[in-house]
A = this chain, B = another copy of it.
Amino acid sequence: MATILTLAGDGIGPEIMTQAVDVLNAVNNKFELGLTLESGLIGGVAFDATGEPLPEETLERARAADAVLLGAVGGPKWDAIERSKRPERGLLKIRSELGLFANLRVAKLYPQLVNASSIKPEIISGLDLLIVRELTGGIYFGEPRGIRTLENGEQQGYNTMVYSTSEIQRIGKVAFELAKTRAQAAGRPAKVCSIDKANVLEVTELWKQTMIEIQQADYNDVALSHMYADNACMQLIKDPKQFDVMVTGNMFGDILSDEAAMLTGSIGMLPSASLDEAGKGMYEPCHGSAPDIAGQDKANPLATILSVAMMLRYTFKKEEAAQAIEQAVSDVLDDGLRTIDILDRSETGLKQVGCQEMGQAVLAKL
């Protein structure tokens, strides 16, 4: 008997979670997975209810659960509250407390959606790249940090970007292993591109050096290359298919994974996994809480539904159930169903649907 904690969160979180939970219940029955679902509070709604963006109770239940499914957190409503209580802090804290250091974000182009992108089709058709982002270190968590008043009376803000060898090794290994798995499945040589700014930042110099050491010690069968973050940001636009697995720190990973997602034109489609050392994980869509469209039944639930598939694959090793979900998603796209974010108005034969209709359509395919 395994337990999944669902945390819907803020903004469009509840709507997309409702659809994902329906799908999860359906595969749970169909494939007799024996999963139990619980729900809890995180983010702004948790702050409203308890005064904390990550209540102790949620954290304890997350620790006890076998996996966590998250919607999204944050919104203008909580912008003005004390920094330590903001919704995003709840997200950062659960990542850190659960030790979810490995964030896997896939930027994959659905052939049905090739026209939804602002990139030319020939540049992105067939795109399928994986960004491995370190998620519990770097400048996101480095100390000292804060805002202080200087002697001359003005204020100064400061944060610390910091990585130790073992943190880099741990995430590097995840990237190399995934590159090997992907290469095997695709029948081609494995490669990893490590992103740094080693020409300016010492912390990323250590990053680069450590990646080289891991590769030389244990991964001679994986080709390792290096790229500066600014150049990587350009190369993702110019020729994204040159990459297979990219590995980088928390901050560069935040930026580059969003960029990679946007290349596909369908960030509403992309799931992510955040894993600890034992493979236990939190799963969530790559997109945010989109407060501007919350409660309007406009959100795309597919990234959350696909996050369920990722969960079944990585944490529960239920490949068949995972594939069933992915196939159902592909089928509704084939049927021409589109939420507004992936609707190409120049294409005929498409039907614009809301969040609920999209979710129920996936359900019907299962």
A contact residues vs B (CB 8 Å cutoff)? 74, 83, 86, 88, 92, 118-120, 123, 139-140, 142, 145-147, 150, 154-166, 197, 199-207, 229-231, 233-234, 237-239, 251-252, 254-259, 261-263, 265, 267, 288
Partner of A203, one of B158, B233, B238: B158
Assess the A88–B199 pair: CB atoms within 8 A: yes
In the A-B complex, the 8 residue pairs with the smallest Cβ-Cβ separation, listed nearest first, are: A157-B206, A157-B203, A234-B262, A230-B258, A154-B165, A156-B164, A158-B162, A88-B199
- Considering only CB atoms, which chain B residue lies closest to A210 in the complex? B155
- A sample of 20 inter-chain contacts (CB < 8 A) reads A118-B239, A147-B206, A155-B164, A155-B206, A156-B162, A157-B203, A157-B205, A158-B161, A158-B162, A159-B161, A159-B162, A159-B202, A160-B160, A161-B161, A230-B257, A231-B258, A231-B288, A233-B233, A237-B237, A252-B255
CA distance A29 to B68 in the complex (A): 71
Residues of chain B with a CB closer than 8 A to A163's CB: 156-157
CA distance A82 to B118 in the complex (A): 43
Partner of A259, one of B88, B154, B205, B237: B237
With both chains docked as a complex, state the minimum distance between the C-beta of A344 and any C-beta of chain B, in angstroms.
Answer: 11
Assess the A164–B159 pair: CB atoms within 8 A: no
Residues of chain B with a CB closer than 8 A to A146's CB: 202
Assess the A237–B255 pair: CB atoms within 8 A: no
CA distance A111 to B51 in the complex (A): 54
- Considering only CB atoms, which chain B residue lies closest to A162 in the complex? B158
Assess the A154–B164 pair: CB atoms within 8 A: yes
Main secondary structure of the interface of A (DSSP, over half): helix
Residues of chain B with a CB closer than 8 A to A258's CB: 230-231, 233-234
Assess the B119–A237 pair: CB atoms within 8 A: yes
Residues of chain B with a CB closer than 8 A to A118's CB: 119-120, 123, 237-239
A157 with B147, Cβ < 8 A, contacts A139-B201, A237-B259 known: no
Residues of chain B with a CB closer than 8 A to A150's CB: 164
CA distance A44 to B131 in the complex (A): 33
Residues of chain B with a CB closer than 8 A to A234's CB: 258-259, 261-262, 267
A147 with B205, Cβ < 8 A, contacts A159-B160, A162-B157, A233-B258 known: yes
With both chains docked as a complex, state the minimum distance between the C-beta of A239 and any C-beta of chain B, in angstroms.
Answer: 8
Assess the B204–A157 pair: CB atoms within 8 A: yes
CA distance A244 to B83 in the complex (A): 30
A83 with B233, Cβ < 8 A, contacts A123-B118, A139-B161 known: no
Assess the B255–A230 pair: CB atoms within 8 A: yes
- Considering only CB atoms, which chain B residue lies closest to A156 in the complex? B164
Assess the A157–B202 pair: CB atoms within 8 A: yes
With both chains docked as a complex, state the minimum distance between the C-beta of A167 and any C-beta of chain B, in angstroms.
Answer: 9
Assess the A165–B158 pair: CB atoms within 8 A: no
Residues of chain B with a CB closer than 8 A to A165's CB: 154-156
